[in-house]
Structure 1
Amino acid sequence: MSRPHAASIVEDAWNSRMNSVLASRGWTPRAVGHTGYGSTDFVRVLGRVLLSRHPEEVTIDAKRLPDSGEDVGQELGPEPRVRGWRAFLTAQLMNAEVDVRIGDVVHRTSSDRSGYIDLTVTGHDLTPGWHEVTITPVGGISAQAPVQIVGPSVRFGLVSDIDDTIITTALPRPLIAAYNTFVLTEQARNIVPGMAPMYRELLGDHPGAPIFYLSTGAWNTEDTLNRFIHRHGYPAGALLMTDWGPTNTGWFRSGQQHKRVTLHRLAKEFPQIQWVLVGDDGQHDPKIYGDFARDRPDVVRAIGIRELTTTEQVLSHGLPVSNEGFAPRVRRPVPVVRAPDGYGLLRQLRAVLAQG
């Protein structure tokens, strides 16, 4: 077994020391629930354990079980003017024992070195649809986490990128992540025209079908992104994010590798589903999706690429993009459609999907 990277050793030592100091001052473990998913065979529960100074504190919770199409913007009320950097002022509790209640059964697990919970349980009594599970750190405050159980008859699903696909900021790529995360208030993020209606219509054609929002962004921004998604009418679905901290092999995680691994995991977990993959041409989505379609053409129904404007392309790359991954006159295993917004993509995707 190889020795952990120096960055992770330093981070673990710092977090361990911080946990001890805060616990000695009366800070309490508090669970945070992220949206999970599963099938009738398994359920994946996602969350985090933090140390809280005030046990009675309540965080804004945009996660709710989807229902009959209520006006989510009305339900959430005025959008909070919260700077993104506040989401990173957290004290994660590493290696904390946690009880996860799924239905009537309690499962014991523990948080990882960054406080995250990622528990997969095989065998449960949850029916297809949306449910809530309870995450309770031992001696701490519980949180509810929504999970979507996909029925065995579902044959269609969506995977969507986030930055420049459903959210646009028109900033240079090196600054987008930092600016979105640390500076912008939530109401300053802009939607990409037509994407929310496209997702609603495609999922409306396939009742019970899931959507996954696949991003290289940090888990700390999950609450903010969930509020954005609900407020602007995007369908509810699990956000599959990353931890930006050091790993056992280096200073930073590979965002591209995260997306590749997640796509293959979804294909394995839902072998009956044909996926429509949606991204943009301003980063690595064409290459990642193209490689996945080449490896698994049996599970990819179509790829939709949102074309960035010239300004967005220059800001994203600094020079024109060469359609990485989708060179002209190269035979591709699955259909690829392109348009500048969701309205154009929907027309083309409907034509592709109608072909059977």
Structure 2
Amino acid sequence: MGIFKKDPLQIIAFQSYGSNTHFYARGRALEDESIDLESQKIWNLAINAFKRLESDEIANTAIKVKLPNNKIIKAKTDNDGYYIIEETIENLKSLTNTEGWLSFELSYDDVTIKRKITNNNRFPGELLIPSSKAEFGVASDIDDTILHTGVVSTLKWRVIYNSIFKNAKSRLPLEGAAEFYHMLHRGVSGENANPIFYVSHSPWNLYRYLELFLRQHKFPKGPILLRSFKEFRSRKTSDEKPQKQKEILNLLKTYPDLPFILIGDSGEHDADIYIEIAKQFPERIKAIYLRSVKHKKRMLRVKGLLEKYKTTPALLVESSKQAIEHARENRFIK
């Protein structure tokens, strides 16, 4: 109708991962609604939460990626504005920094777009290619594993409250979590650069919120792997694996020579998922750490699962200190 001004366009690149020959980038093309992730005002927090969940995607639109060596990769967004770009490219490690991060640039590649595009149509992206010094990878949950969330609260009211009425900077990490993750990242040599992957059931709409939380509380930088809001709302079939499980299995497939440590909590289904993965890859999973949550029935259920499972070291821990002690005894950390 021409009454409302249209927002400019942007491209959000999700931090992803790849290998020396596998370029794998993902993200989403959206309208730029100027979401303020740092505002503390209640009204702004509610509006920003709504904007995150009710995003306006740019569907079926051509985009392109420019690598540091000037190689161009072309792609297209899907019906929900998401893109996944996979290409076989040789010697990608030569384009990474000392931590294994490869930087690239995204842009819209559709001459018919008449809308304003922010950042002069240049959007930064990154993917991680683990260092050759890495001895293992870490796949960690986020909710109630490193971030106080309340996933076991009645009707998940704390999750709803925290997501809407708290900004990322004011959210509290679990005590000692960032220190433990940095120790795992540095490894037993202190210089291993072991990759950390953050895997959550949260929707991609919360990506920038979670990215800011991790950066603000000085967690090691790592790919953040979430799921679409459509998947978040839909029911799985009985034989369908949870998205978190699929992501971890894809990590194991991508890095066949890299063992993993799995970290989660006892609140929902991390124990079931991690034990099933460890049974499938008994030589690849070095340890499982599950943080205790304040829910007696779920705690008892998880303890029962761990008592029956003896193949991989699997610990229910009350604090980061317990996990650090075990990791040090097993020479995962210095």
TM-score of the alignment, normalized to the shorter chain, above 0.5: yes
Query: Secondary structure of 2:282's match?
Result: coil
Do residues 214 (structure 1) and 199 (structure 2) align? yes
In structure 2, the residue matched to 1:115 is 81
Deviations 1:282-321 (CA, angstroms, capped at 9, x unpaired): 111111000100011121111111112xxx326xxxx453
2:153 aligned with 1:197, yes or no?
Answer: no
CA gap 1:169/1:151 in 2 versus in 1, 3 angstroms: closer
1:218 Cα deviation (Å)? 0.9
> How far apart are residue 252 of structure 1 and its match?
4.8
The correspondence for 1:337, drawn from 307, 311, 315, is 315
- Spell out, residue by residue over 1:51-94, the C-alpha distance to the aligned partner (whole angstroms, 9 max, x if none): 347xxx6x679xxxxxxxxxxxxxxxxx4335233322421011
Q: 2:23 aligns with which of 43, 47, 50?
A: 43
Partner Cα distance (2:309, 2:31) in 1: 53
1:266 and 1:325 map into 2 onto residues whose CA distance is 27
Given candidates 260, 263, 268, the residue that maps to 1:278 is 263
| Distance in structure 2 (CA, Å) of the matches to 1:173 and 1:282 | 14
Q: Highest relative contact order (Cα 8 Å, sep 6+), 1 or 2?
A: 1
* 1:267 match: secondary structure: helix
Partner of 1:7 in structure 2?
A: none
Q: Does 1:134 align with 2:105?
A: yes
Distance 2:269 2:28 in 1: 28
Letter of the 2:327 partner, please give it: L
Secondary structure, counterpart of 1:287 in structure 2: helix
Equivalent residue for 1:99?
64
Compared with structure 1, are the counterparts of its residues 329 and 167 closer, same or farther at alpha carbon in structure 2 (3 Å cutoff)? closer
| 1:321 counterpart = 2:306 | no
Q: Is the 8 Å Cα contact of residues 40 and 151 (structure 1) preserved in structure 2?
A: no
1:16 aligns with: none
Q: Is 1:87 aligned with 2:52?
A: yes
Correspondence for 2:282: 297
- Equivalent residue number for residue 347 of structure 1: 325
Whether the aligned pair in 1 keeps the contact of 2:292 and 2:299 (CA below 8 Å) is no
In structure 1, the partner of 2:162 is 180
Counterpart Cα distance in 2 of 1:168 and 1:256: 25
Distance 2:306 2:215 in 1: 37
Contact 1:132/1:145 (8 A) holds in 2: yes
Alignment partners' CA distance in 2, 1:264 and 1:38:
14
Cross-structure match for 1:14: none
Instruction: Mark the CA change 1:280 to 1:320 in structure 2 (over 3 Å): closer, same or farther.
Output: closer
Aligned residue number for residue 241 of structure 1: 226
Q: Which amino acid aligns with 2:305?
A: A
Aligned counterparts of 2:57 and 2:166: Cα–Cα separation in 1: 23
CA distance in 2, matches of 1:173, 1:305: 22
Structure 2 distance, partners of 1:47, 1:202, is: 27
Tell me the percent identity.
22
> Which amino acid letter does the alignment assign opposite residue 238 of structure 1?
P
Q: 1:39 to 1:235 in 2, by over 3 A?
A: same
1:176 CA displacement: 4.2
Letter in 1 for 2:215: H
Cα RMSD of the aligned pairs, angstroms, is 2.8
Give distance in 2, aligned partners of 1:112 and 1:174.
31
1:133 is paired with a residue of what secondary structure?
strand
The amino acid of 2:134's aligned partner reads V
Answer whether contact 1:43 1:149 (CA < 8 A) is retained. Answer: no
2:250 aligned residue: 265
Q: Distance in 2 between matches of 1:86 and 1:138?
A: 26
Report SS of the residue matched to 1:321: helix
**1:161 paired to 2:161:** no
Match of 1:151 in 2: 131
Q: Give the aligned residue type for 2:75.
A: T
CA–CA separation in structure 2 for the residues paired with 1:246 and 1:303: 26
**Alignment check: 8 A CA contact 1:286 1:326 kept:** no
Whole-Å Cα distance in 1 between the matches of residues 265 and 51 of structure 2? 28
Deviation of the 1:280 alpha carbon = 0.6
The whole-number CA distance in structure 2 between the counterparts of 1:80 and 1:51 is: 20
Change (3 A) 1:109 1:28: same
Q: Report the more deviating stretch, 176-185 or 332-341.
A: 176-185
Cα distance in 1 for residues equivalent to 2:304 and 2:66: 45
Relative to structure 1, is the Cα distance of residues 326 and 196 closer, same or farther in structure 2, using a 3 angstrom cutoff?
Answer: farther
TM score, norm. by length of structure 1: 0.77
Counterparts of 2:184 and 2:221 in 1: how far apart (Å)? 13
Checking the alignment, whether the CA contact within 8 Å between 1:243 and 1:253 is kept in structure 2 is no
The structure-2 alpha-carbon separation of the partners of 1:322 and 1:270, relative to structure 1 and needing over 3 Å to count, comes to same
Give the counterpart letter for 1:168 in structure 2: H
Structure 1, unaligned runs of 5 or more: 1-20, 62-78
- Aligned residue-pair number: 304
